[in-house]
Amino acid sequence: MKRLQWVTCPKAWQSAVFRANVGLDDTPEAAKIKICGLGFFELYINGARVGRDYFVPAWSDYEKRDLSTLIYPINGEFTYRVYYLVYDVARYLKKGENVIEALLGNGWYRQNKRNAEGNLWYGDELKLAFRLTAACGGKEMTVESGAATVCREGCIVENNIYFGETHDYARNIPLPRRDDGEAAGVVWEWMPAQKTNAPEAIFAKQDCPPDRVIRSLKPALLHDCGDRKIYDAGENISGWARVVSAGETVTVRYAENVRNGALDFASAGGEGQIQSDTFLNAPPGTALHPRFTWHAFRYFEIAGRTGDVIVDVVHADVEVRAKYEGANEVHRWLFDAFIRTQLVNMHAGVPSDCPHRERLGYTGDGQLVCDTAMTLLDCRRFYKKWIQDILDCQDRRTGHIRHTAPFYGGGGGPGGWGGAVVIVPYMYYKHYGDKVLLKKCYKPMLRWLACMRGFAEGGLIVREIGGGWCLGDWCTPGKVLLPEPFVNTYYYVKCMRYIQETADILGEDADFAAEIDSSLSALTQNYYDEQTGSFCGGVQGADAFGLDLGLGGARTLDSLIAKYSSATGLDTGIFGTDVLCKVLYDNGRHDLVLRLLSLTGYPSFGHMKAQGATTLWETWNGDASHNHPMFGAAAKYLLGKDLDKLKHF
């Protein structure tokens, strides 16, 4: 791809159609196109859309950016990568003249509207490169982007991954054509595409599953307010409302909640970041929906007269491979809610924290749920790609792992977030037995470990990079009481053990025993009370963290069991909830795990269910996003003795 001639269009265009003509002497026996359009693209040949993919190419750290405007300093050296796609297109081609078109929109590459933490966009122009190779009558012909490529402004006059799109159909879009290549009744003005440079990046073929329309729902009309109607999709999803034009201007707005007969935008970005699409001048009967963004919502409002209204659920095309058939209603809800939440947070090759407000691949959230996701979903190719994102966001000089991958700002901590470079590849190996990928990750694991040593004092991890957050646990009910060094050192030790196991698997010479012992000793000296047998006073699952490292003893386990046997709600954060369930499960108390996962008092999953939630909340009290998968890491323990049967390897 780097050797191809990349082309672009005027920077003022928010979308563009690029076009090239291909003359064939015969119907091709075989034909493939290798293509990349940044930000996102749709491919058309002779007016037919090629494939069913959305939001391609997959999101990555495309190329170097100016990060000087960020709210905390980022001075690292990343690895940059751009994905391209290869489509088999023989069935779209014919003898004679053929028309190739690509519709491009901003995607992540030119997201320059939301800058909550500073300017994070990659480029200021849409750009495209392709090579079509066709075999006709024993001859091979090739057509590439370049001097013969022309372009015109697209009908999508605004498009932003966070805010939505405006379509003006007076400018038209690719449509089925007459034999002369023009849409019926439309004459377009084309201009030569401008030459531009390829991104300075590694190019790789996209292998992760793309986003597609997975299923469709018929929404219920909730409020008819005359000039506007509010619908309920019945569940919190990602995708869009697909409406049929009645020839009027239509605006569709999206939210997770309704209040007093109106959409409540607070949980998905607030009034300053409303997800909204507007459609102008659409011919009657046209199906209207966004092309270069998804929305995340349960409720939506339509202003303007339309025909039929359907909700399309859109996310990465991965299959669910597990089911839960227990009798407990809260358990069934938790299992289904986790799967729904995880799926609608899988877009453009990245597992996100939420599918609306931030949409980022947080390493903390991602490492926390990866084992459960790999257990319940067929997501091998998806996580292989995201592991590469984690490796790419590692500072080549210091070994530090950013809090989001691909890097897009965001806060976190050195252990629970940075440890993703160890935990996700380790879990991937445990599920899929991919020793090649594990070996690829081994040296990055060691570089991260060396970085963590720089954050240590007396065996404890006590800081992050200068100017950055240093979180321990997160989203506890009320204030986080667990000391940050306690949680970060827990992850430091866990990851050293995983790296040691990785070294043994790969036949590498490594010994972290002395380092591990030093940190275990520091945890005991600083946080363990000999009189009570508890860590940190037993708050927020602290004893589970200690026990999971082999610290404490019988009294510690007894205290943990006694506390949570009588609990009416959970007091744990995103990491503590998972560690608590793991330790109880590992110590033969699956019955107590099931009890905790069925609680209905506040805070609990049963409380979320009672409030009408269909996806998992970011916080126990529901005052933030209503679509965050992180607390769902514990859902795998519902499977009990069947858990290990779902390992692939």
Residue 495's contacts (CB-CB under 8 Å, 6 or more residues apart) are 415, 419, 422, 423, 445, 448, 449
**Confidence label for 648 from pLDDT (cuts 50, 70 and 90):** low
Spatial CA neighbour of 15 closest among 292, 305, 430: 292
Region of poorest pLDDT, from 72-86, 182-196, 496-510: 182-196
- Choose between 540 and 72: higher pLDDT: 540
Cα(201)–Cα(401) distance, integer angstroms: 19
- Residue 176 pLDDT exceeds 50: no
Q: How confident is the model at residue 188 (pLDDT cuts 50, 70, 90)?
A: low
The number of beta carbons lying within 10 Å of the beta carbon of residue 175 is 14
Q: At what angle do helices 420-432 and 435-453 cross, to 10 degrees?
A: 160
Cα–Cα distances in Å, from 71 out to 66, 81, 121, 362, 503? 13, 25, 15, 17, 38
The alpha-helical segments, DSSP class H, found in 242-362 are 329-343
The strand pair at 211-217 and 202-205 is best described as unpaired
Mean pLDDT of the residues in the chain: 95
Pairing of strands 96-105, 16-24: antiparallel
pLDDT in tens, 255-291: 999 999 999 999 999 999 999 999 999 999 999 999 9
10 Å Cβ neighbour count for 506?
Answer: 13
Residue 212 has pLDDT above 90, yes or no: yes
Looking at residue 552, its amino acid is G
Provide φ and ψ at 266, rounded to 5°.
-55, -45
Higher pLDDT, 138 or 352: 352
- Six-digit token string for 522: 């520091």
Asked whether the predicted pLDDT for residue 187 surpasses 60, the reply is no
C-alpha span between 69 and 57 (Å, rounded) = 27
Class of domain 213-316: mainly beta
3-state secondary structure 203-264: EEECCCCCEEEEEEECCEEEEECCCEEEEEEEEEEEEEEEEEECCCCEEEEEECEEECCEEE
pLDDT of 385 > 80? The answer is: yes
* Alpha-carbon distances of 644 from 582, 629, 632, 636, rounded to whole Å: 14, 22, 18, 10
CB 390 within 8 A of CB 420: yes
CATH class, 319-646 region: mainly alpha
- CA 262 → CA 223, 224, 249, 252, distances in Å? 9, 11, 20, 13
The pairing of beta strand 127-136 with beta strand 139-144: antiparallel
Closest by CA to 111, choosing from 409, 501, 378, 422, is 409
Q: How far apart are CA 308 and CA 106, in angstroms?
A: 29
Q: Is pLDDT at 175 greater than 50 in this prediction?
A: no
Beta-carbon contacts of 179 under 8 Å, excluding residues fewer than 6 positions away, are: none
Q: Give me 111's structure tokens.
A: 């997201």
Euclidean distance between CA atoms 211 and 294, whole angstroms: 10
Query: Over the Cα atoms of the chain, what is R_g?
Result: 26
* pLDDT for res 645: 72
- Assigned superfamily of 6-187+199-208: Galactose-binding domain-like (2.60.120.260)
Common-topology check for domains 6-187+199-208 and 213-316? yes
d(C-alpha 468, C-alpha 461), whole Å: 14
CA distance readout (Å), 203 to 1, 152, 361: 7, 27, 21
pLDDT band at 186 (very low <50, low <70, confident <90, very high): low
Task: State residue 189's pLDDT score.
Answer: 84
Average pLDDT value for residue range 306-327: 96
Query: Using an 8 Å Cβ cutoff, are 275 and 238 in contact?
Result: no
φ, ψ at 33 (rounded to 5°): -125, 135
Q: How confident is the model at residue 117 (pLDDT cuts 50, 70, 90)?
A: confident
- At 172 the pLDDT is 66
CA distance 512 to 603: 39
Q: What is the mean pLDDT of residues 23-42?
A: 96
Q: Please give the pLDDT value at position 179.
A: 44
Cβ-based burial of 108 (10 A; exposed 0-12, middle 13-18, buried ≥19): buried
Q: pLDDT above 70 covers what percent of the chain? A: 97
3-state secondary structure of 639: helix
Q: What b/e sequence results for 443-456 when a residue is b if at least 16 CB atoms lie within 10 Å of its CB, and e otherwise?
A: ebbbbbbebbeebb
d(CA 461, CA 494): 13
Tell me the pLDDT band of 138, cut-offs 50, 70 and 90. confident
In the numeric block, the tokens 């999971």 are attached to 548
Pairing of strands 287-288, 220-224: unpaired
Distance CA(115)–CA(358), nearest Å, equals 11
Assess whether pLDDT exceeds 50 at residue 541.
Answer: yes
Tokens at residue 264, please? 């409540």
Which two structure tokens, joined as six digits, stand for 359? Answer: 């949409």
Identity of the amino acid at 306 = T
Task: Report the 10 Å Cβ neighbour count for 190.
Answer: 12
Per-residue pLDDT, 226: 87
The larger pLDDT score, comparing residue 12 to residue 180, is at 12
C-alpha–C-alpha distance, residues 582 and 584, integer Å: 6
Q: Examine the pLDDT at 32 and tell me if it is beyond 90.
A: yes
The residue extents of the domains of the chain are 6-187+199-208, 213-316, 319-646
**pLDDT tens, position by position, 558-599:** 999 999 999 999 999 999 999 999 999 999 999 999 999 999
- Asked whether the predicted pLDDT for residue 430 surpasses 70, the reply is yes
pLDDT score of 647 more than 80: no
Of 565, 600, 607, 601, the residue nearest 584 (C-alpha)? 565
What is residue 37's predicted lDDT score, i.e. its pLDDT? 98
Predicted local distance difference test score (pLDDT) of residue 247: 94
Residue with tokens 């890097």: 407
- Give the residue-averaged pLDDT of 615-633: 98
pLDDT digits (tens, 9 = 90+) for 446-501: 999 999 999 999 999 999 988 788 999 999 999 999 999 999 999 999 999 999 99
Instruction: Give the chain's end-to-end CA distance (angstroms, integer).
Output: 35
How many C-alpha atoms does 321 have within 13 Å on its Cβ side?
18
What is each CA distance from 463 to 204, 360, 456, in whole angstroms? 36, 23, 7
* CA dist., res. 295 & res. 314, Å (int): 9
* Mean pLDDT computed over 221-226: 94
Would you say residue 112 has pLDDT above 60?
A: yes
3-state secondary structure at position 378: strand
Alpha-carbon distance of 38 to 195, in angstroms, equals: 14
Distance (Å, rounded) from C-alpha 570 to C-alpha 602? 7
Looking up tokens 């860590």 gives 535
